[in-house]
Amino acid sequence: MKLSKTTKLVIVFLSLFVILVVAYYTLEIVARNYVSSSYDETVSLTGARLSDEFYSSVSRAATWKSVSGYSSQFDFEIYNTGKSNLSNWVVKIELPSDATLENYWGAEAVFDAERECVVLRPTYYNNVIYSGENIAFGIIVNSKEVFTPTEIGIKGYKISSELTDIGKKVIMILLMVCFIVFVGLLVTRVNVRNYKERQRNDVKIILQSMNTFINFIDAKDPYTRGHSRRVAMYAAEIAKRMGLSEDEIQNIYYAGLLHDAGKISVPDAVLNKPGKLTDEERKLIQNHTVAGGKMLLQLSSLRGVRETALYHHERYDGTGYPDGLKGDIIPLYARIVGVADSYDAMSSNRVYRRHLNKDEIIEEIQKGSGTQFDPSIVKYMVDMINDGYVNVVKMETAEADENHERFHLTEDDIPGVYMGFQQ
């Protein structure tokens, strides 16, 4: 089962959240059971404070005479002012030897074995007094004499809350960071998806418009049917092999599609003339570059498209047309499309000749390296012929079949060339 990137993102962050929450509660449990030291102190109930960490107050709520002596009710309160929590703790209160316990609350109370004291095990908060908290409990004692407790003993284990607090804070910060990053990534992903969707539509509209326009050129010049689409494909592949960016590859593809746009201005009779051309006719055909440049003047948003139409017949040695530009002065797209254009011309049948074979084409292209073509681009075109990316024999078969659509290229023919179509 293939998961989408968004699903993977949700799974990764959900797992992170679960891990952090488990860590939080594990830390809590570990810290509660982590005993840093034991505690055994006696706290005065007469005003003098014996412990730095705990103090207690007691109030006599009532005393009344009964048949067996005097019953007294005492309410206790213990305050934890230290930095540690006290766990598994008990309170001991010494009682007269004849005393009996009539009632108690807030704690379970039992006499110790020798009846020297009553041991109270408070039932609050899982038997923990947290740092900064206080608890209350009480007893009713009966004795022959009226008595007043003067001290209580507090015994238990100290557990460090500092470790837990720092750990919890770190986990809470991590949880918050995770949440913010998660929401941020999710929003970015949704935006990117919407952007890609729009971009895909844009590319589709551009390609459909261009294809419509190219059909007009093809209709004028049936012998070069599919030429613009093939040149666009070859030029894009060269650009890809040269390591250009996806943006550039995309633009070079557009430039390849429209490089012969100016042919629409050349009279049909001249364009399809089987015999030798007069100087006047040759000039008319050569003028398709200038005408194309003018037609595409408004298409400035597609970078390099106009320059390619204008300069794709310039030669590397400066003897081309229309301006006789030389070397790297010729725009890169035009140099790339120039090589792709020549390859397609040599590998297609023309009104005046059949196509050349693979070896002849390679020889011709290499002969033109440095004179007609940029040598750094020739290398890639020759590689494409040698590794079978372009195939003269296949193309010949396709062209022989009138209804064959193999070389009627659409945007689906070059997967990966269009950045708008990549995930």
CB of 260 or CB of 374, closer to Fe ion: 260
Q: SS3 of 269, please?
A: helix
Q: Which stretch binds Fe ion (CB under 5 A): 48-56, 93-101, 258-266, 382-390?
A: 258-266
CA 281 to chain centre: 58
Distance separating alpha carbons of residues 89 and 408, to the nearest angstrom: 87
Cα–Cα distance, 386 to 342 (Å, whole number):
16
Report the nearest approach of Fe ion to the CB of residue 260 (Å).
5
We find the least distance from the C-beta atom of residue 243 to Fe ion, in angstroms, to be 26
Minimum distance of Fe ion from residue 236's CB (angstroms): 17
CB of 419 to Fe ion, least distance (A): 26
Of the listed pieces 62-70, 152-160, 256-264, 400-408, which binds Fe ion according to CB under 5 A? 256-264
Which residue, 158 or 312, has its beta carbon nearer to Fe ion? 312
Per-residue three-class SS string for 133-171: CEEEEEEEEEECCCCCCCEEEEEEEEEEHHHHHHHHHHH
Rounded to 5°, angle at Cα 6 from 5 and 12: 90
Length of the chain: 423
Q: Is 260 in the site for Fe ion (CB under 5 A)?
A: yes
All residues at 6 or more sequence positions from 235 whose CB lies less than 8 Å from its CB, including other chains: 252, 253, 255, 256, 333, 336, 337, 339, 340
**Which residue's CB is nearer to Fe ion, number 293 or number 420?**
293
Task: Give 3 or 219: the residue with its C-beta nearer to Fe ion.
Answer: 219
Please, what is the minimum distance in Å from the beta carbon of residue 358 to Fe ion? Answer: 23
CA distance from start to end of the chain: 18
Mark the segment that binds Fe ion (CB under 5 A) among 183-191, 218-226, 257-265, 409-417. 257-265
Q: How far is the CB of 246 from Fe ion (least distance, A)?
A: 26
Q: Which residues pair with 121 in a beta bridge?
A: 108
The window from 53-61, 260-268, 275-283, 405-413 that contacts Fe ion (CB under 5 A) reads: 260-268
The pair of structure tokens assigned to 285 is 């055909």
Report in angstroms how near the CB of residue 7 gets to Fe ion at its nearest: 49
Write the DSSP string, 314-362: --TTS--SSS---GGGS-HHHHHHHHHHHHHHHHS-BTTBPPP-HHHHH
Contact string (CB under 5 A) for Fe ion, positions 141-170, x = contact: ------------------------------
By rule CB under 5 A, what string of x and - marks binding of each residue 69-88 to Fe ion?
A: --------------------
Q: Which residue lies nearest Fe ion, judged by its C-beta?
A: 260
d(CA 130, CA 35): 14
Q: Which is nearer to Fe ion, 239 or 266 (CB)?
A: 266
Tell me how far apart the alpha carbons of residues 241 and 233 are, in angstroms, rounded to a whole number: 12
Report the nearest approach of Fe ion to the CB of residue 226 (Å). Answer: 15
For Fe ion (CB under 5 A), the number of binding residues is: 1
Q: Site residues (CB under 5 A) for Fe ion?
A: 260
